[in-house]
Amino acid sequence: MDNPPIKQNITATLEENYMPYAMSVIISRAIPEIDGFKPSHRKLLYTMYKMGLLNGAKTKSANVVGQTMKLNPHGDMAIYETMVRMTRANGALLYPYVDSKGNFGKQYSRDMAFAAARYTEVKLEDICRVVFTDIDKDTVEFQDNYDATMKEPVMLPVAFPAILANPNQGIAVGMASNICSFNMGELCETASQLIKDPNTDIMETLKAPDFPTGGYIIYNRDEMRQIYETGRGSFKIRSKYKYDKKNNCIEVYEIPYTTTCEAIIDKLIELIKAGKVKEIADIRDETDLNGLKLTLDLKKGVDPEKLMTKLYKVTPFEDSFGCNFNILINGVPRVMGIKEILNEWTLFRAECVKRGIAFDIKKKSEKLHLLLGLKKILLDIDKAIRIIRNTEDDDMVVPNLMSGFGIDELQAEFVAEIKLRNLNKQYIIKRTDEVDSLTEEIKKLEDIYKSDRKVRSLIVKELGEISKKYGSERKSEIISGGELEDYKEEQFIEDYNLKVLLTKDNYFKKISLVSLRSASEQKIKEGDKIIAEFDSVNRADLILFTDRQNVYKARLFEMNDCKASSWGEYLPNVLSMEPDEKVLYMVPTENYKGNMIFAFENGKIAKVPLEAYMTKQNRKKLMNAFSDKSPIAGILYTETETDIVTYSNAGKRLVLNTDKIPLKTTRNTQGVFIMKLKKGSVMNGAKLLSESGLENPESYRARNLPSSGYYDKEESQISIF
């Protein structure tokens, strides 16, 4: 018999099984700490530091990966990929931590693979000297590695705000972090100013983010202030390009940090195939050892500046960086603004400095203590020699010296270890002269240790030296958003006069008037007929009404031109219509002026302004475009109030002016009764009077509405569908 299933409380199960995993990902993997590193970065750099790669020659990457496994239990490829991103060759960091030799791929390339670890070589960059500042002086806490065979630092004692100096991204469980990078000079100056004056406006010194891939930062002061204050928000980065007039091509040499050249090319190809970008003749990736270069060959007569304005809008040539300054502070994730981050870093750095000073005080005090014992020996060297010589038991040398000179065990051990050749007055005087200088040094260190102001002054001094040594010119240029030309799609649309036609079988024809002059006879499918025909321009919108009460919207410039001799485009394929859906009517418009007239079989007519179908979101499909309470009998468009004719299947006609129909702003209004119908009869058509061919139309006009209309046996019944 099968065991019955064990019932589990979902809350308890989540707490016992899922929460430990989630917390591990947040605290030990994905979110950086205030020193600017995730555990994987820290373990790798510390391993390289212990391997002597700060001063020594480069070693094979595979060697570093293997050594790092003593601290990091992940696989070799995970460790190597972490290293790759930190190298100078990869270009992912504004201030790389790993000097490299070989192929490490590129930040701006999705498909450029890095070489295997057995081929490449690495060592630490010189900037790591200030990453590991005084790490051997107990400046940070150490912890056991995963198998408790080694010690590793909990954090690194970075002497500059590394958390903001390099880009850092992480996705945890239920939260994420995305930190942009800032210029070292600006960052160090801002941190210094903030230490001196907590109320300083950091926007005066920290101008904007800076990225290793360069580009333009589109600067909006209000948006940037929001990011600085809250740690959340986004800003735009734009590619840099130059125009080669001789070869009529655009060369893009810097792209946003958030994209890759392959992603840009893929998007361009997609737009070209869709006919939305027609100005480009060819695209080439000409990236080489000199750096990134995407070349766009232009067609004749194309304005490169206008084209790039368009491409910035529709491709990743311009992209957004979404900021989420989520950082672990004492094991707790916090989203902070720049000022709060720098304040937290200052507290962290001050603690590192104080721990280093305390270490120096301890070491110097221990040395002073030994020298004070040696100084007592100076009073009678012969006595010391005599005590040692007359002591028969080796273990009694130290106790005898202690009792003979009144010194402690450490001092006596120090004296006992002095070589015989050094037991002379000159040596001892020379060593004991250090007592005064050591005493003075210890006093100064204790004064600094006790004064937060002096500790912060030391930090400011360090920041100034680091800025001078490692600072660099900005790579990302700042441009004001207000100075940029906005993309207006209309500027890029070739405008010309054309004729548009719709057939009963859902074929659409867009023919330029120039083409129409050479062949005016329209070819349509056998058994098909034209149900709507308009003169328009290429910049107009096209509105199409279907038998499912839907409206489909398209831009005429996006529709293909055709010749009078072709059937045209099959609309269900172009518009992705519903199965068996039929287009009943169409209207091209530039300004959405005029009204739509909907005639229903129940004798009602609705008049709706065309602007009711205009949407700000540029939607492609609108539902409930007209009423479904009664089958549709006819759809008309009138630019101004005009006469129309309605028909019934009983052979009656009714002429009326559209000003008699009240205007309704609701698209699916049921309208008002216009034509009185006898039982069994329906209104089966509506036409503009100018297109009806009626003779003596006034004889069909009713004085009052609704009206049953008038017979005319000589005229045939009509249905427009």
User: Is 70 exceeded by the pLDDT of residue 486?
Assistant: no
Of 19-23, 167-171, 650-654, the least confident:
19-23
| Mean pLDDT computed over 313-342 | 95
- The strand pair at 477-480 and 216-219 is best described as parallel
3-state secondary structure of 203: helix
16 DSSP 8-state letter: I
Q: What is the mean pLDDT of the chain?
A: 89
Own/partner long-range contacts of 268-276 (Cβ < 8 Å, ≥24 apart): 268/296, 268/311, 268/315, 271/314, 271/315, 275/558, 275/560, 276/314, 276/558
CB contact burial 114-137 (16+ within 10 A = b; e otherwise): beebeebbbbbbebbebbbbbbeb
Q: What is the average pLDDT across 19-44?
A: 86
pLDDT level of residue 717 (50, 70, 90 thresholds): very low
**Does the pLDDT of residue 280 top 90, yes or no?**
yes
200, with CB counted inside 10 A (0-12, 13-18, 19+), is: middle
Contact between 93 and 85 (Cβ < 8 Å): yes
Mean pLDDT value across residues 537-553: 91
Q: How far apart are CA 510 and CA 560, in angstroms?
A: 7
Other CB atoms within 10 Å distance of the CB of residue 436: 10
The contacts of residue 649 (CB under 8 Å, 6+ apart) are 681, 682, 684, 717
Check whether the bond before 157 is cis (ω within 30° of 0).
no
End-to-end CA distance of the chain: 70
Question: DSSP string of 292-343?
Answer: --EEEEEPTT--HHHHHHHHHHHSTTEEEEEEE-EEEETTEEEE--HHHHHH
With a cut of 50, say whether residue 715 has pLDDT above it.
no
- Asked if residue 712 has pLDDT above 80, the reply is no
Residue 706 scores a pLDDT above 50: yes
Lowest mean pLDDT among 72-81, 124-133, 339-348, 613-622: 613-622
Options 3.30.1360.40, 3.40.50.720, 3.40.190.10, 3.40.1110.10; CATH of 240-316? 3.30.1360.40
Give the distance, in angstroms, between the CA of residue 662 and the centroid of all CA atoms in the same chain: 51
Written as six digits, the tokens of 537 are 């321009």
Closest CA to 566 of 509, 649, 633: 509
User: What is the band of 519 on the pLDDT scale with cuts at 50, 70, 90?
Assistant: low
Cβ–Cβ contacts within 10 Å for residue 50, how many?
14
| Over residues 251-271, mean pLDDT | 95
* Residue 15 dihedral angles phi and psi, to the nearest 5°: -65, -40
* Banded model confidence at residue 385, pLDDT cuts 50, 70, 90: confident
Q: Is 290 helix (H, G, I), strand (E, B) or coil?
A: coil
State residue 629's pLDDT score: 92
Predicted confidence (pLDDT) at residue 616 exceeds the cutoff of 80:
no
What does 80-101 look like in DSSP terms, one character per residue?
Answer: HHHHHHHBTTT--SSS-SEEEE
Cα–Cα distance, 39 to 30 (Å, whole number): 9
Q: Please tell me the predicted confidence (pLDDT) of residue 75.
A: 87
Highest mean pLDDT among 248-252, 388-392, 618-622, 700-704: 248-252
pLDDT score at 15:
76
Using CA atoms of 423, 427, 429, 431 in order, give the dihedral in degrees to the nearest 10. Answer: -110
* Boundaries of every domain in the chain: 31-158, 240-316, 348-470, 489-711
Helices (H) and strands (E) in the chain, counts: 20, 33
Residue 719 has pLDDT above 60, yes or no: no
Give buried/exposed letters for 333-347 (b at 16+ CB in 10 A, else e). bbebbbbbbbbbbbe
Is the alpha carbon torsion for 355, 356, 359, 361 positive or negative? negative
Token readout for 479 is 């441009």
Average pLDDT for 259-263:
95
Residue type, 420: L
More confident residue, 42 or 483: 42
Measured CA to CA, the distance from residue 593 to residue 386 in angstroms comes to: 119
When pLDDT is cut at 50, 70 and 90, the band that residue 483 belongs to is low
Residue among 459, 371, 111, 137 nearest 265 (CA): 111
Q: What is the mean pLDDT of residues 552-571?
A: 85
Q: How confident is the model at residue 518 (pLDDT cuts 50, 70, 90)?
A: low
The catalytic residue among 21, 119, 496, 711 is: 119
Instruction: Answer with the residue of higher pLDDT: 710 or 616.
Output: 710
Rounded-to-integer distance, Cα 486 and Cα 497, Å: 27
Closest CA to 86 of 111, 56, 65, 57: 65
The predicted-structure confidence for 401-445, as pLDDT tens digits, reads as follows 898 888 998 988 888 888 877 777 787 777 778 888 899 999 999
* pLDDT for residue 716 is more than 60: no
Classify residue 29 by its DSSP letter.
Answer: I
Using one digit for the tens of pLDDT, what is the confidence trace for 344-376? 999 999 999 999 999 999 999 999 998 888 888
Q: Give 147's contacts (C-beta < 8 A, 6+ positions apart).
A: none
Beta bridge partners of 122: 59, 100
Q: Which two tokens stand for residue 10?
A: 């979902």
pLDDT given for residue 720 in this prediction? 46
| Residue in this structure with the two tokens 């750096």, named with its chain if needed | 291
In this predicted structure, what is the pLDDT of residue 457?
A: 95
Instruction: Determine the Cα–Cα distance for residues 347 and 476; give it in Å rounded to an integer.
Output: 30
Phi, psi torsion values for 86, nearest 5 degrees = -90, 0
d(CA 325, CA 210): 16
Mean pLDDT for 520-534 is 82
Is 513 within 8 Å of 497 (Cβ atoms)? Answer: yes
Angle of helix 425-432 versus helix 434-450 axis, rounded to 10 = 20
Task: Tell me the fold of 31-158.
Answer: Topoisomerase II; domain 5 (3.90.199)
The CA distances from residue 313 to 280, 317, 480, 488, 588, in Å, are 16, 8, 17, 10, 26
Give the 3-state secondary structure of residue 421. Answer: helix
22 confidence band (pLDDT: 50, 70, 90): confident
Question: Candidates 3.40.50.1820, 3.30.390.30, 2.120.10.90, 3.40.50.720; correct CATH number of 489-711?
Answer: 2.120.10.90
* pLDDT band at residue 490 under the 50/70/90 scheme: low
Answer CATH for 348-470 from 3.30.2320.50, 3.60.15.10, 1.10.268.10, 3.30.1490.20: 1.10.268.10
What's the rounded Cα separation, in Å, for the pair 412 and 417?
A: 9
Q: How far apart are CA 44 and CA 65, in angstroms?
A: 8
Q: How confident is the model at residue 713 (pLDDT cuts 50, 70, 90)?
A: very low
Q: In the structure encoding, which two tokens stand for residue 428, read together?
A: 């001892």
User: Which one-letter DSSP state was computed for residue 127?
Assistant: G
Return the biggest CA–CA distance within the chain.
152
What pLDDT, on a 0 to 100 scale, did the predictor assign at position 389?
85
Q: Worst-scoring range by mean pLDDT, 276-290, 317-331, 407-421?
A: 407-421
What is the percent of the chain with per-residue pLDDT over 90, rounded to a whole number? 61
Is 470 designated active site? no
Residue 409, both tokens: 């065990």
CA nearest to 637, candidates 620, 666, 658, 653: 658
CA-based angle 473:474:479, to the nearest 5? 140
Chain segment 203-241, per-residue pLDDT in tens: 999 999 999 999 999 999 999 999 999 999 999 999 999
